[in-house]
Amino acid sequence: MSTKNTREIVDTYYRLANAGAWDDWCDLFAVDQTMDEQLAGHVEGRETLRDMMKGFPEMYASFSNTPVHIVVDGEQAAVVSHISAVTTGGDAVEAEVCNYFQVSGGLIRYMSNFHDSVPFAAVSGA
């Protein structure tokens, strides 16, 4: 079995997110992954992430995260993307995002994202 390279992992991350395949998306992360997520905070462990993502379809009627610019340097990547979503309550979300990835052994070990939280007020309740 070959190990996917960083670019393949990043491309798969966005493909699965945009397909709403959250369980498969979670499998891209290492068992002991760490994530610093702008809205959800610090998340440790793949199964914690998987439990968190189970509620995602209840928050969004539609969701897309489209990469605009991808930079890969070995086992690190940064992606500037645009999120277009509609909450289940009908609120539109449009946001520019930057994700940072550290990949090792074909899995995401660390990820963080950065964006304006105002567009997500309808989801976060802020």
Of 11-15, 38-42, 100-104, minimum mean pLDDT range: 38-42
Best CA proximity match to 104, nearest among 30, 34, 27: 30
Q: Are 40 and 52 in contact (CB under 8 A)?
A: yes
State the Cα–Cα distance between residues 87 and 49, nearest whole angstrom: 20
For residues 96-125, average pLDDT: 88
Distance CA 25, CA 50 (A): 9
Q: How confident is the model at residue 1 (pLDDT cuts 50, 70, 90)?
A: very low
32-89, pLDDT tens digit by residue?
A: 999 998 888 899 999 999 999 998 888 889 999 999 999 999 999 999 999 999 998 8
pLDDT at 124: 64
Question: Could you read off the pLDDT of 110-123 as tens digits, one per residue?
Answer: 999 998 877 787 77
Residue 96 clears pLDDT 70, i.e. is over it: yes
